[in-house]
Structure 1
Amino acid sequence: MMKLTDREIEILEILEKDALLSSDSIAKMIGLNKDETEEIIKKLQDEKIIVHYTTLIDWAKVDNYQGVTAMIDVKVTPKRGVGFREVAERIYRFQEVSSVYLMSGAYDLSVTVEGKSMNEIAQFVSEKLSTLDSVVSTTTHFQLKKYKHDGSVYDSDQNDNRIVVSP
């Protein structure tokens, strides 16, 4: 863990909302010069605080794209001395897995898997995931439609049907 300055946190918050902003734009937003801003960003990348830059794509708008996403709840038996970490590492090494989270509640891990078809994901669950020694049970949920992801609303051009409340 690393203690960051308010400026560093401010840069992270800006980049989290829009990673395409230039360092010049970010510098103007927070009152630093471009070189200072670039130096802070490089430090945050070197320290692995900025892990990766991603692009959100609305694949539902692409006709010839076929892909399926599933969220799988996994109940596991943790191993003495390493807890859930060892089984989580084994799971996230599979090419099909895009994320793994330790969760509270009825299941221990939440695993997000991407594939070309529901059958491909079912095959992954039955042949790879369920066969791991520590895995006790799984529940698979297929994603049908994405409304909002990482703070970005999909299909935001539609009318907002919520009732306006004003004092």
Structure 2
Amino acid sequence: MKLTDKELEVVEILSKNARLPLETIAKMVSLSIEETEQIVRKLEEEKVIVQYAAIVDWRKIDGHEGVTAMIDVKVTPKRGVGFDEVAERIYRFPEVKSVYLMSGAYDLSVVIEGRSMSEIAKFVSEKLSTLDSVISTTTHFILKKYKHDGTVFEQGDQDKRIVMSP
């Protein structure tokens, strides 16, 4: 889908902050509120804008820290459908947050979330590795998030003053 310059501007603005009021976005792109609303509606209908989501730092909420793992999956593609069929079987599990087709040593990268490492281990051993097309898996646990979807987590109280020397 080819977007106009104004439509592209709206997409870029919403991708950075989807909570901006329509009036503010309209001013930023020099359009009327009605024109901006039509662009947003079109982008939603065409599934260019798929969903609006909040980025949450779960570590700050007691009892909800959870565990995130990235799993490299080597699979045997099926004739006629390639990797799509096994990817669909994987992304239908509720624990799975993302599935990507990758280049390199592994075919799929799967991101899952669970309450504990043992819950993720159980998912890998009982659900993921038992799928017919899955040859092997390598699980990586995320220990700390520094930046996610362009948002930096906890920069700390760094001194942001410019250093001056005589």
TM-score by length of 1: 0.93
CA separation in 2, counterparts of 1:93 and 1:160? 46
Q: Which amino acid aligns with 2:6?
A: R
The residue type equivalent to 2:94 in the other structure is Q
RMSD (Å) for aligned C-alpha atoms? 1.4
1:152 aligns with 2:151: yes
Matches within 5 A, 1:11-90: 11-90=10-89
Shift of 1:159: 1.9
Find the residue that maps to 1:29 and give its secondary structure: helix
Deviation at 1:156, TM superposition (A): 2.4
Q: TM-score w.r.t. structure 2 length?
A: 0.93
Q: Which residue of 1 aligns with 2:94?
A: 95
Unaligned runs of 5+ in 2: none
Residues 57-66 or 120-129, more deviating = 57-66
Specify every segment of 5 or more residues in structure 1 that has no aligned partner in the other structure, as ranges. Answer: none
Is contact 1:66-1:117 (8 Å) kept?
A: no
For the Cα contact (< 8 Å) 1:92–1:99, is it kept in 2?
yes
Letter in 1 for 2:153: Y
Q: Are the structure 2 counterparts of residues 123 and 104 from structure 1 closer, same or farther at C-alpha, using a change threshold of 3 Å? A: same
Is this contact kept in 2: 1:73–1:140, CA < 8 A?
Answer: yes
Q: 2:80 is paired with a residue of what secondary structure?
A: coil
Is 1:111 matched up with 2:110?
yes
**CA deviations over 1:43-81 (Å, ceiling 9, x no partner):** 100011100011001111122323111000000011111
Aligned partner of 1:99: which letter? S
Contact 1:71 1:140 in 2 (8 A): yes
Structure 1 CA distance for aligned equivalents of residues 3 and 159 of structure 2: 38
Give SS of 1:39's match: helix
How many residue pairs match? The answer is 161
Q: Deviations over 1:92-130 (max 9, x none)?
A: 000000000001110000000011111111000000000
